Structure 1
Amino acid sequence: MSTAAKEQTTPEAFFSVDMRVGRVTDVREFPEARRPAWKVTVDFGDIGELQTSAQITNYTREQLIGRLVVGAVNLGAKRIAGFRSEFLLLGGCTADGTVHLLAPDAGTPGDPVA
């Protein structure tokens, strides 16, 4: 994963991404994925529950269930090994590709991220 800075963008492009607080409600194994991943379901309040494929197997199922997370919910769905991934779970990536989830200290599912 590259750590080089990306090109400048506009505030309009950045603010068009709908980032929301959510709570993890389910985590399932995803053996069909090319790289180790979980199938994660997150409650985003009024938006509803959305699912995603996430390469965050450095977290156990028990560490994820009930956890507050941040997701980008308006990027469109994508098929991954036959699974419909509906949002992007956000985290910081280390040089070795490990993802450390962004986690709000508090909040309610569906809260917009400022």
Structure 2
Amino acid sequence: MRKKTSMITILTVLFLVAASYAAAHPPTSIELDYSRDDGILGIWIGHVVGNTSSHFIEEVEVKVGGREAAELRYASQGDRSGERIVVTIGRFAPGTRIEVKAECNRSGNMTGVLVVE
């Protein structure tokens, strides 16, 4: 009987740990739109969550030409399907590389890249 109880306890703990990891996930997509005329970068980060105050995009880092242009931190997510951000980063010449890294507060990150046309 004691072995059976121990086995059930172990399986229950493993199930709960696996379930918590399944609920934590990195962003699924990053879409970038840059206006050379205005120097404005539009960012859409796809990250579907059930509760926007406990599971959200916590940090967004924007680099232009390898240098940090903006670092944004959040305590919740604006929408259950993801986060929309608009940031003024300045005007850049064609060929300039813009990189955006989004990090989930629970697990994982994703990077999106746009090259100015």
TM-score by length of 1: 0.29
- Looking at secondary structure, tell me which structure has more helix per residue: 2
- Looking at secondary structure, tell me which structure has more strand per residue: 2
TM-score by length of 2: 0.29
Structure with higher Rg: it is 2
